[in-house]
Structure 1
């Protein structure tokens, strides 16, 4: 009887893992189809540039020690990683969703202080999109800091949540 239970558990566990692997972009907590469409034609944007809500950018990152962060990143970036700083005008409703094509830490700074995220979803099985983070902010200017990226480029979409 023990062998049957162990085998059944292994079969169920293996099937659950296979389903999670096959889930791809559907495994995100919210849809990322807008990001996929925007990333395909994202214009090149240098570090220090402006990101528009409702658009994507192919952000050029710099060595993290040259990123000129407004405040130190919440998670200290590793040596040899890349980062960038960008500005954004937060819309009146105040909620934004920042999605990335690769791994990097996101800090949003408003009024000189880092704002905690309001939601996070990350998936390693979605081609072209790695994570999506939501923030509740006040309308007006904000700074977005990206740090700890292993590559010198990162596609970024800034959207209002669906």
Structure 2
């Protein structure tokens, strides 16, 4: 009986692990396969860089207390965390999706005001991609504010939603 219980536990544990692995990146509300393709070859970027729709960048973050954000982040970053700013030119279609490789807060600022997100999906079981956030924006320039990151690097992809 003891062997049967141990074997049953091992089978159940293996099934749970397989289910968790299967849930991984497929657990996002929308596909993240483009990000998975872009992130490994993302070029290095510093705070203030220009993002291009359809590409990803690997940001070297700096201490949040050294960044001059256009407006204060919606969620105040904890002391000792990191962040960066970036610029993007929003195409006429206007809807953009920003995906981050790790935990961090993202604000999008246009015309001096924070733009509320229209969609959010976050998954802790997808290797290399932590969250993806969508915004409906006006065509033209926008500022991306990243804050609250616990690590000094963060990959960011900016894409048109699928």
TM-score by length of 2: 0.88
Indicate the residue corresponding to 1:156 in structure 2. 156
* 1:119–1:133 Cα contact (<8 Å) kept: yes
Q: CA RMSD in A?
A: 1.6
Distance 1:16 1:116 in 2: 36
Q: Could you tell me whether the CA contact under 8 Å between 1:61 and 1:152 is conserved in 2? A: yes
**Unpaired segments of 5 or more residues in structure 2?**
1-14
- State whether structure 2 residue 59 is matched by structure 1 residue 59: yes
Query: How far off is 1:67 after superposition?
Result: 1.6
1:6 maps to none
Matched, 1:45 2:45: yes
Query: 2:149 & 2:37 partners in 1: Cα distance?
Result: 22
Structure 1 gap ranges (5+): 1-14
Partner of 1:32: 32
Cα distance in 2 between the residues matched to 1:32 and 1:21: 16
1:17 deviation in Å?
9.0
Aligned to 1:88: 88
Partner of 2:128: 128
Secondary structure at 1:34 match in 2? helix
TM-score by length of 1: 0.88
Aligned residues: 149
Deviation beyond 6 Å, 4+ runs, structure 1 = 15-18
